Amino acid sequence: MKEFFAGLIDSVTSVNSAVNNFVWGIPMLVLLVGTGILMTALTRFFQLSHIGHWFQNTIGGIFRDRHITKHTDKEDKAISQFQSLCTALAATIGTGNIVGVASALIAGGPGAIFWMWIVAFFGMMTNYSENVLGIYYRRKNTKGEWCGGAMYYLKDGLGSYKGCRQIGAVLAVLFSVFCLLASFGIGNMSQVNSIAANMEAAFSIPTVATGIGLMILAALVIVGGLKRIASVTEKLVPFMAIAYILGALVIFLANIGQCGAVFSAIFKGAFGLKAVGGGIVGSGVKLALTWGMKRGVFSNEAGLGSSVMVHSNSNVKEPVRQGMWGIFEVFADTMVVCTLTAFSVLSSGLVDLETGAVLSEASGSALVGEAFATIFGSFGPMFIAVSILLFAFSTVLGWSHYGSKAWEYLFGTKSTIAYKIVFILIIYVGATMNLSLAWDLSDTFNGLMAMPNLIGVLCLSPLVVRITKNYVDRVIRRQDVKPLLSVFPDINEEHTER
């Protein structure tokens, strides 16, 4: 039996490797980054031109606008804007911010970080567009809960174009299927596997025990639905993010003299001015670009169409307002957390900044733990292990909602309990499976999920531009312009300014 499963895993690995290489080829990277570039250009660099406005109305608004943090009534199935952000960040700030960054540095050298930044900068507007469309096309189910996501703007948005009804419906189903599979990969197995490995390495806790413990904890939260998930994540995410950022800032201040050398290595590695690990320059650029983009997407999920499924549950009535939370989500995840992780590793002496070669035999989170140990001693690896636990577990909670919404679209609202049970059982599998297979499966499902979503965003880009222009004229420039009404008359009131 053991030999059978070993052979099965080898077969799955081989097939997945071929699919992964196809999915993450140059065309996919062009589609991914190209969508972000297009939306940036069409919205006139909204993430830069209105940076003060979206900062003021996202993280800044938490301290001055009670509507952002105010909980909805028990009967109201929506969640607050802050809860939607925390749940989305719970899903995005995960192992990608630690393990993903370390993997990108090992495989692509310091230059990979530059391409993570590029993906994030343009990904801000991809995520913005997804959330705008998510609010615009969301619907309520039989329980009175909001349902939004790429499946809805593919079917109702793209499908409303002449001759595209069937195309929109098929792409909506494909997205839901890929999202369902991705929820078991990026949202479950790879996260839990990292937790189990770190708990065993740092505290000698068996992976079986970790798997069982996580199953129980997850069940207590997930079965309670989105309200309970949001209630947990709004407490967990700020704590874990602030704790990790403070730890990374200590390393940054301690190694601040390395700033010039670190950022020089990043930029030179990105454009092939230095070979990765002493290899061929052209190959080094390709590795840096590919791994930077893959891990950038894994980290902030811009282009996947995932976080829009929880943003659509917000009690906000203005699509652009929720879109701005999407911008902040990508900024916080990649520009802040991933950059601090990268600096911690690159400034620790574990990477040769001249060649980009990693001098340590450690990989993944162990490499980051070793970097933290240069400042915090033996406490460093334990701090990273606990960070992985919090980051990854919160990601599991967030992705359980995404998969649930995909399941609901495919099989109906009443059957979602079946998905939740399977999702919880998969946690045990993830804790004891091969780590490389978990990551490879996650990459594949990410790419497959992004394809239909990006097609939808591109086709509906004129609508995003109209909604954005209307908001800018009406709210920022304070012109006498009426709110842009929805294409669905029965929910017009949901798309007006608060």
Lowest mean pLDDT, pick from 206-215, 223-232, 361-370, 489-498: 489-498
Query: Which position has the token pair 């499966």?
Result: 441
Q: How far apart are CA 444 and CA 311, in angstroms?
A: 24
pLDDT at 88: 66
Lowest mean pLDDT, pick from 281-285, 371-375, 465-469: 281-285
Q: Distance between the two ends of the chain, CA-based, in angstroms?
A: 61
The rounded percent of the chain whose pLDDT value lies above 90 is 23
SS3 for the chain is CHHHHHHHHHHHHHHHHHHHHHHCCHHHHHHHHHHHHHHHHHCCCHHHHCHHHHHHCCCCHHHCCHHHHCCCCCCCCCECHHHHHHHHHHHHCCHHHCHHHHHHHHHHCCHHHHHHHHHHHHHHHHHHHHHHHHHHHCEECCCCCEECCHHHHHHHHHHHCCCCHHHHHHHHHHHHHHHHHHHHHHHHHHHHHHHHHHHHHHHCCCHHHHHHHHHHHHHHHHCCCHHHHHHHHHHHHHHHHHHHHHHHHHHHHHCHHHHHHHHHHHHHHHCCCCCHHHCCHHHHHHHHHHHHHHHHHHHHCCCCCCCHHHHCCECCCCHHHHHHHHHHHHHHHHHHHHHHHHHHHHCCCCECCCCCCECCCCCCHHHHHHHHHHHHCCHHHHHHHHHHHHHHHHHHHHHHHHHHHHHHHHHCHHHHHHHHHHHHHHHHHHHHCCHHHHHHHHHHHHHHHHHHHHHHHHHCHHHHHHHHHHHHHHHHCCCCCCCCCCCCHHHHHHHCCC
Q: How far apart are CA 250 and CA 146, in angstroms?
A: 42
Q: Count CB neighbours of 241 within 10 A.
A: 23
Res. 38: pLDDT tops 90? yes
Res. 224: pLDDT tops 80? no
pLDDT at 92: 64
Q: How far apart are CA 75 and CA 375, in angstroms?
A: 50
Query: Stretch 312-327: mean pLDDT, rounded?
Result: 86
pLDDT at 7: 56
The tokens for 428 are 């045990």
pLDDT band at residue 357 under the 50/70/90 scheme: confident
Across the chain, what does the average pLDDT equal? 79
Higher pLDDT pick, 345 / 432: 345
pLDDT band at residue 39 under the 50/70/90 scheme: very high
Q: Are strands 139-140 and 146-147 parallel, antiparallel or unpaired?
A: antiparallel
Query: Stretch 309-322: mean pLDDT, rounded?
Result: 83
Q: How far is CA 264 from CA 267, 336, 356, in A?
A: 5, 18, 11
Q: How far apart are CA 424 and CA 223, in angstroms?
A: 9
Res. 162: pLDDT tops 70? yes
The one-letter amino acid code at 117 reads W
The rounded percent of the chain whose pLDDT value lies above 70 is 77
Query: Stretch 245-268: mean pLDDT, rounded?
Result: 90
Q: How far apart are CA 331 and CA 337, in angstroms?
A: 9
pLDDT at 393: 85
Which range, 144-158, 218-232, 233-247, 359-373, has the best average confidence (pLDDT)?
144-158
Q: How far apart are CA 406 and CA 419, in angstroms?
A: 10
pLDDT at 2: 47
Higher pLDDT pick, 84 / 308: 308
pLDDT at 456: 94
Res. 386: pLDDT tops 70? yes
The tokens for 266 are 């990043």
Write out pLDDT tens, residues 183-192: 887 788 878 8
Q: Which residues contact 423 (CB under 8 A, 6 or more apart)?
A: 183, 184, 188, 218, 222, 400, 403, 404
Write out pLDDT tens, residues 259-285: 999 998 888 887 765 444 443 334 445
Higher pLDDT pick, 141 / 324: 324
Q: How far apart are CA 168 and CA 153, in angstroms?
A: 8
Query: Stretch 24-45: mean pLDDT, rounded?
Result: 84
Q: How far is CA 279 from CA 76, 133, 294, 430, in A?
A: 58, 44, 21, 35
95, 391 contact by CB (below 8 A): yes
Rg of the Cα atoms in the chain: 22
pLDDT at 459: 94
Write out pLDDT tens, residues 417-439: 999 999 999 888 888 776 566 66
pLDDT band at residue 292 under the 50/70/90 scheme: low
Res. 81: pLDDT tops 80? no
The one-letter amino acid code at 123 reads G
Query: Which position has the token pair 């993280």?
Result: 59
Query: Stretch 317-341: mean pLDDT, rounded?
Result: 88
Lowest mean pLDDT, pick from 141-145, 241-245, 319-323: 141-145
* Among 177, 135, 179, residue whose Cα is nearest residue 156: 135
Write out pLDDT tens, residues 112-124: 888 888 888 999 9
Query: Stretch 250-264: mean pLDDT, rounded?
Result: 91
16, 441 contact by CB (below 8 A): yes
Chain CA centroid to CA 169, Å = 25
Res. 90: pLDDT tops 80? no
Q: How far is CA 213 from CA 208, 231, 232, 423, in A?
A: 9, 20, 17, 15
Going from N- to C-terminal start, the domains of the chain cover: 12-495
pLDDT at 78: 61
Write out pLDDT tens, residues 53-77: 988 888 777 666 665 556 555 555 5
Interior CA angle at 23 toward 17 and 25, to 5°? 100
- Identify the CATH class of 12-495: mainly alpha
